Each structure stands twice: as structure tokens, then as C-alpha cells.
Amino acid sequence: MSLFHIIFGILILGISLLLLKRLISSLGLWQEKSRFSRIARNKEGINHIGTNRGVFDFKNSDKWLIERRLMVENQLKLRGIKNETVLKSMLTVPRHCFVPANMQKYAYLDGPLPIGEGQTISQPYIVALMAELLEPSPGNKVLEIGTGSGYAAAVLAQIVSKVYTIERHASLAAKAQEVFKALDYRNIITRVGDGTKGWPEEAPFDGILVSAGAPGVPESLCNQLKPGGRLVIPAGDRQCQELLLVRRNEDGSFSEEKLGEVVFVPLIGEEGWHQE
């Protein structure tokens, strides 16, 4: 066999592979058809949304979906999360879209991850636990303090009708808003500011979730709960807090339940810690 035959052979092989890739692509198998990756391809600047996932992108073998299934089974169900709507939401929301590009491969691991500004996206189990404690249902209006990456707000937005979320770092709020837009979460309203004062113009709320550790329960937040409403908040010292469930009873009084130790970044604000 001459050198010409070898080069000719390699060329034919290369062209065949290219044609095969085009054929697969035209059959729709190359890119996942979910709204998430479709949007990711269009949206410049949000390259941390799942792109370049090659042949694993077609629907049922989406590697992110497999990772989410494992997360739900091993991290959530085995630890006692039972609320079906919360489990379904955790299975649906693409957590990897809410973390920086260099963290994507760790998105479904059992822990918090850095998101910039010295802040974190909470551990999946903690997000699920706090969401379950709120007992969210479809017609609810929920307030979240500490948008961070936006992930917890998205988990709630899959279940309730409206999520109001407040973040004190403008850069984090802007990033989260970009992801909400890209993923088409129209029922999340974001605001930059001190969440310890709540969102009086939109009160009362069926549920309030505080995603940062407070020195105590902010009075403003309690006052913005509906009768029958629930507030979930980590409260204690700066190093370690107790997860609290505060219920507003129908007669307007409050009851409080302690649910175990947690560690959160501090809630900074007028009714929180006064310094970073």
C-alpha cells in the first residue's frame, strides 16, 4: 500500500466521521432538547449553563439528570426528605447552571460551593430540608432572604406561585437574575438590599426562608408572615446556628421549633449581624 493510499484512506475516514456527526445532529440527538440547554446555546455570557455535553446530551441519558437522580436518592431520600413536590423540584432544577463554570463538575456533590463575594450555594440536603419545612404549595407566595446563586429560589419557584428573593450583593443578584431569565423562571422577583427588613410592600407571605445565619429571629420577618405561615431560619452565633421553624398561629401568636445544628454564612443587616 502506497503513502497516497494511506492519506486517501485517512481523508475518507475523516469526511465519513464529519457526515455521521451531522446526521446525528440533524436527528436531534447531539443536543438535549430541554429548555435548559436550548437557552444555554443562545445566551452569551452564561456559558456555565450546561453546554458542550456532546452525545450525552440527549434526553434520557443526560449526565446531569443522572447526577440529579443520584443526589435525590442518596443525599435527600436516604436522609429522610419525603415531600414529593420538593423531591421532584430538586430532580428538575439544574443546579449546575447556578454555580460558576469551574464548579460545575461538583454541582451535585453533597456540600456547599463558593459562588463569589465570599458566599456559598447551600448543600443540596439543606436546601431540600428548608424547602420541606416551609410546606410549600402551589398557590403560595414565598419570600427568600439571601438569593446567593438563585438555586433555592428556583427550587421553590417550581412549587409555589411566586417567589420574592432579596440579596445584599448586587453582583450575585445580577448573576442569579441572568440565570432565572435564561431558564425562564418568570415567577421569581429579585431585589438588592437588606433582607432582614423583609419586603413590606409584598407582605404577608405564606412562607419565609432565610438562607443566612442570624443572631436571632428578625421581628420584621415575623410580622410579614400570614397567620398559619412558616419561617425557616438558622439562628445562633456566627460559627454555628440552630435551624428554627417559626409558625405564626391563627391567633397571631408565634411558636418555635428547633431542628438541629447548621452552619451558614452570616445574615448581615439592620436586624442581623452588623459587620461582615
When asked if residue 96 is in the footprint of ligand SAM (CB under 6 A), the reply is: no
When asked if residue 169 is in the footprint of ligand SAM (CB under 6 A), the reply is: yes
For 87, the grid coordinates are 423531591
Give me the residues paired with residue 114 across strands.
Answer: 120
Q: Figure out which of the listed residues 140, 177, 196, 241 binds ligand SAM, where binding follows CB under 6 A.
A: 196
The gap from C-alpha 181 to its chain's centroid, in whole angstroms, comes to: 14
Per-residue contact flags (x/-) with ligand SAM for residues 202 to 241, judged by CB under 6 A: ---------xx-----------------------------
* CA–CA separation, 142 and 254 (whole Å): 18
Least Cα distance to 191 among 204, 205, 177, 178 occurs for 177
Nearer to ligand SAM, 32 or 214 (CB): 214
Nearer to ligand SAM, 31 or 149 (CB): 149
Q: Specify the stretch interacting with ligand SAM by CB under 6 A; choose among 10-18, 24-32, 34-42, 160-168.
A: 160-168
Paired sense of beta strands 119-121 and 113-116, if any: antiparallel
Contact 154, 148 (CB under 8 A): no
Q: Figure out which of the listed residues 156, 166, 179, 188 binds ligand SAM, where binding follows CB under 6 A.
A: 166
Q: Closest-CB residue for ligand SAM?
A: 146
Would residue 253 show up in a list of annotated catalytic residues for this protein? no
Per-residue contact flags (x/-) with ligand SAM for residues 116 to 155, judged by CB under 6 A: ---xxxx----------------------xx-xx-xx---
Nearer to ligand SAM, 29 or 217 (CB): 217
Q: Which amino acid is at 3?
A: L
The one catalytic residue among 37, 122, 149, 211: 122
When asked if residue 68 is in the footprint of ligand SAM (CB under 6 A), the reply is: no
Interhelix angle 84-92/124-134, nearest 10 degrees: 140
Shortest spacing between CB 268 and ligand SAM, in angstroms: 4
Least Cα distance to 32 among 51, 5, 4 occurs for 51
How many other C-beta atoms are found inside a 10 Å radius of the C-beta of residue 191? 13
Composition of the chain by helix, strand, coil, percent to 5 = 40, 25, 35
Contact 50, 34 (CB under 8 A): no
Q: Specify the stretch interacting with ligand SAM by CB under 6 A; choose among 48-56, 74-82, 252-260, 266-274.
A: 266-274
Q: Figure out which of the listed residues 49, 134, 235, 265 binds ligand SAM, where binding follows CB under 6 A.
A: 265
* CA–CA separation, 16 and 145 (whole Å): 55
Give me the residues paired with residue 213 across strands.
Answer: 266
Q: Could you list the active site residues?
A: 122
Tell me which residues touch ligand SAM (CB under 6 A).
119-122, 145-146, 148-149, 151-152, 166-169, 172, 194-196, 211-212, 264-265, 267-269, 272
